[in-house]
Amino acid sequence: MRLLIVRLSAMGDVIHALPLAENARAAGHSVGWAVERPFAGLLAGHPAVETVFVADTRRWRRRLLSSDTRREAAALRREISGFRADAVVDAQGLWKSAVLARLAAGGASTRIVGFAAASRREPASAILCRTQVVPAPDAAHVVDRNIALLGPLGIPAERRAPDASHLLGRPGPDADAFLAAQKRPFVLLHPGAGRPEKCWGEERFAHLARGLIRERGVAPVVSWGPGDERRAERLRSLLPKRPPMPALDFAGLARVIRDAALFVAGDTGPLHLADALGVRTLALYGPTDPARNGPYRFREGIVRNMADVSDDTVLQLALRLIG
pLDDT in tens, 218-236: 999 999 999 999 999 999 9
pLDDT computed for residue 67 by the predictor = 80
Instruction: Using alpha carbons, list the distances in angstroms from residue 280 to 133, 173, 260, 261, 275.
Output: 33, 24, 8, 7, 7
Residue 308 to residue 286: CA distance in whole angstroms = 9
Mean local confidence (pLDDT), 120-130 = 97
pLDDT digit string (tens) for 48-89? 999 999 999 877 777 766 788 788 888 999 999 999 999 999
Judge whether residue 237 has pLDDT over 70.
yes
Are the beta carbons of 114 and 132 closer than 8 angstroms? Answer: yes
Closest CA to 268 of 5, 11, 1, 4: 11
In the chain, where are the structural domains located?
2-158, 173-322
Mean per-residue pLDDT of the chain: 95
Share of the chain above pLDDT 90, in %: 91
Average the pLDDT over each of 34-48, 97-111, 117-131, 290-304 and give the range with the smallest value: 97-111
Nearest to 17 by CA among 84, 93, 69: 93
Here the contacts of 246-249 (C-beta below 8 Å, separation 24 or greater) are 246/174, 246/175, 246/178, 247/174, 248/172, 248/174, 248/175, 249/41, 249/172
Q: The pTM is what? A: 0.96
At residue 131, the pLDDT reads 98
For 2-158, which CATH superfamily applies?
Glycogen Phosphorylase B; (3.40.50.2000)
The side-by-side arrangement of strands in the sheet containing 262-266 is 219-222, 186-190, 262-266, 281-284, 302-303
pLDDT grade for 19, boundaries at 50, 70 and 90? very high
DSSP state of 262: E
Let me know if the fold of 2-158 is the same as that of 173-322.
Answer: yes
Average pLDDT of the residues in 147-156: 98
> What dotted CATH number matches 173-322?
3.40.50.2000
More confident residue, 57 or 137: 137
Q: What is the CA radius of gyration of the chain?
A: 20
Cis peptide before 10 (omega within 30 of 0): yes
pLDDT, position 58: 77
Whole-angstrom Cα distance, residue 91 to residue 6?
A: 6
CA 252 to chain centre: 15
Return the H-helix or E-strand segment holding 47: none
